Chain A
Amino acid sequence: MKTLLEVKDLNVSFQENENEKGKEKENVTAVFGVSFSIREKETLALVGETGCGKSVVAHAIMRLLPLESRVKGTIEFGGKNLLELSEKEMTKLRGKEISIIFQNPSLALNPVYSIGHQLAEPLRIHGQEKRKGKEWKKEEERKEKGWEEKEEKNEKELKMRKNNFSKVAGALKRVGFSNPHEYMGYYPSWCSGGMNQRFLIAASTMLDPVLLIADEPSKGLDRNRVAELENELEGLKEKSETSLLLISHDLGFVRRLADRVAVMYAGEIVEISDPSNLFERPLHPYTRGLLNSLPERGFVPIPGSSPPLSSPPEGCRFHPRCPVKEKRCMQERPDLKESNGRAVRCFLCL
């Protein structure tokens, strides 16, 4: 299978001067040397706790990070380095080839427009671009010919609108609404969070993106709704050719959906593996600790707390909390070692 997205040595740092006295400038490295790749039709999950930098990775891919951040490394998507594209090219790419599902479904939809209007928006915007390119010359001619052609233009627009309408209806049907025409007139506030989530998925997949990024889609949802969402994404994977980058802290959710899982801790990837191996035989001590704190395994916590990203510990970033640490863990930084399809950042494993 072909590699769709390749992230190499991604470093993202923010400058913040929220120091004790607010005088010195402090560099916060949120993402440190992250490399991974997504193949076509594959689902890769990024797992980790709050503040480990997983959302930053997603935003770096979409180039949605705030201006004061500094990004190093390469993100290769279809032969292009996303970090070097101009803002204009990026805008074209967003939504059409790479699409994102944001965290809060009720906040991501604009409450004053109807669902149908909002879902048709990506079609309108990206459709216009296409037309501009192709029909530029035609339009010039039309201007010369005068008002007779205007009618024709209107007719064309009407046709396009009808086309959009049926496309939106199709997308809604795909996410499980049996009578989409009714729902297109609805407003986000009339619908439940779960329904809004489905609208969002429909909107993100409207243009058949090659890569879909889901940023904590299950956060703040009820158990039933998480199950619903799972079915949605499952269906999406089967029906379309989309690759999925799933960012979540919900391990159970990830286990059922992902083809490969990357575990992040304090801005680094500590383990990449397929889910069944990861959940049955975790290698990295952090992964083991994380799995042990799941309800099924009796809520055994990892002692201590994640280090602040402004001053990570020397050597292996997990060593202060590690139950099996050795002397060299405190001094050297382990590399991500690969063997039979799994990779782990630890001296003591493998």
Chain B
Amino acid sequence: MSLKAENLSRAYGSGLLGRGKCIFRDVSFELEPGKTFGLMGPSGEGKSTLGRIIAGLERPTDGAVLFNGNPLSKMKKAEYSTFRRRVQMMFQDPTDAFNPRKRIEHSIFEVLKLLEISGTERIRCTKEMLKTTGLPEEVLFRYPSQLSGGQLQRLALGRILLLDPEYIILDEPTSALDVSVQAQVLHLLKKVQAEQGIGYLLISHDEAVIRFMSDSCGELEKGQLGLIEV
């Protein structure tokens, strides 16, 4: 039950013609269940890339991501699909977190379908999810363009929670939101963590947010990860 980054490096433009420009090198840290690891740094330092690598959406140039001690690149299909469920990612821009052509209802049911949850159970799950995130039921019948950023970001979190993840990578989850909505979302994240013991990797450029949320914290600067006392 652990998610570990070991000596991760990433370079852009690497290919047959040799190594490209290095973004970060030898980054190692560990996420623990129920704890938050904050990742700070100025923009353009590869924070988001690091997040995507941990979530398995991109490959590192060097190093490995270990889930329960298994490196991600050597996983078998069954293992990989549990990893896929257990480690989720939440993105910065809430306005494109949902397919603009579908009602929210469909985006949510799609996930439940994927989990092979039956018809009546699906409605119960959805209702429970809405209760956790504190949203009215009518949002289900809307299109994403009809909802506010805060509502969408809470729905995005709710949708991820349906998968019962162990770790969530939060890539600037509140930087596109207003201050009062940011406070709501941060409190919701804390509440969910306390209830379900999820480990967070919080990526943000906002030091106040990191200090509020994190148990331990690191700063990515000039391609190196430096640990910081909180």
Listed in ascending order, the chain A residues whose CB lies under 8 Å from chain B are: 18, 20, 49-51, 222-224, 249, 251, 289-290, 292-296, 298-302, 305-306
- How far is it, in angstroms, between the C-alpha of A222 and the C-alpha of B47 when the chains are bound? 14
Q: Known contacts A49-B179, A249-B179; can you find 12 more A-B pairs with CB under 8 A? A: A50-B181, A223-B205, A223-B206, A224-B42, A249-B178, A294-B179, A295-B209, A299-B182, A299-B186, A301-B184, A305-B148, A305-B181
Interface size class of B (residues with CB under 8 A): 20 to 34
| Set of chain A residues within 8 Å of B182, measured between Cβ atoms | 293, 299
- A349 vs B214: C-alpha distance in the bound complex, in angstroms? 38
CB–CB B183/A222 < 8 A? no
- 27 A/B residue pairs, CB under 8 Å, sorted by A: A18-B146, A20-B141, A49-B178, A49-B179, A49-B181, A50-B177, A50-B181, A223-B205, A223-B206, A249-B179, A289-B180, A290-B179, A293-B179, A295-B212, A296-B208, A298-B212, A299-B182, A299-B187, A299-B212, A301-B184, A301-B187, A302-B180, A302-B183, A302-B184, A305-B148, A305-B150, A305-B151
Complex CA–CA separation, A300 to B181 (angstroms)? 10
Residues of B near A290 (CB, < 8 A) are: 179-180
B residues in contact with A301, CB < 8 Å: 180-181, 183-184, 187
A18 proximity list for chain B (CB < 8 A) = 146
Q: Tell me whether A49 and B146 are in contact in the complex, defined as CB-CB below 8 angstroms, given that A222-B42, A299-B186 are known contacts.
A: no
The answer to whether B205 touches A222, judged by C-beta atoms less than 8 angstroms apart, is yes
Q: Mark B193-219, 1 if CB is under 8 A from A, else 0.
A: 000000000000111110010000000
Once A18-B146, A51-B148, A306-B148 are accepted as A-B contacts, the answer to whether A222 and B180 lie under 8 Å apart by CB is: no
Cβ–Cβ contact B179 & A251, under 8 A: yes
Alpha-carbon distance A128/B146, docked complex (angstroms): 45
Chain B residues with CB below 8 A from A294, complex form: 179
Across the interface, B183 reaches (CB within 8 A) one of A50, A223, A299, namely A299
> For residue A289, which residue of chain B has the nearest CB?
B180
Closest chain A residue, CB of each to CB of B184? A301
- Report how far A119 CA is from B205 CA in the complex, Å: 32
Give bound CA distance, A294 to B181, whole Å. 10
The verdict on B149 contacting chain A, using a C-beta distance below 8 Å, is yes
Find the B residue at minimum CB distance from A321. B180
Across the A-B interface, give the 5 residue pairs with the lowest CB-CB distance, nearest first. Answer: A295-B208, A293-B183, A301-B183, A49-B178, A299-B183
Nearest residue (CB) in B for A193 is: B43
* CB nearest to B209 among chain A residues: A295
The complex places the Cα of A234 from the Cα of B151 at a distance, in Å, of 36
A305 to B155, CA, bound (A): 14
Task: Look across to chain B and name the residue whose beta carbon is closest to the beta carbon of A306.
Answer: B148
A49, B176: Cα distance in complex, Å: 11
Q: Mark B133-157, 1 if CB is under 8 A from A, else 0.
A: 0000000010000101111000000
**B139 nearest CB across to chain A (Å):** 10
| Chain A residues positioned under 8 Å from B149 (CB to CB) | 50
Smallest CB–CB gap between B185 and chain A, Å?
Answer: 8
Which residues of chain B are near A292, meaning CB under 8 Å?
A: 183
- A249 — which chain B residues lie within 8 A by C-beta? 178-179
Whether B179 contacts A300 by the Cβ 8 Å rule is no
Residues of B within 8 A of A302 (CB): 180, 183-184
Cα A51 to Cα B152 in complex, Å, equals 14
CB distance from A270 to the nearest CB of B (A): 13
Min C-beta distance of A263 to chain B, whole Å: 12
Most B Cβ at <10 Å: residue of A49, A251, A301, A302: A301
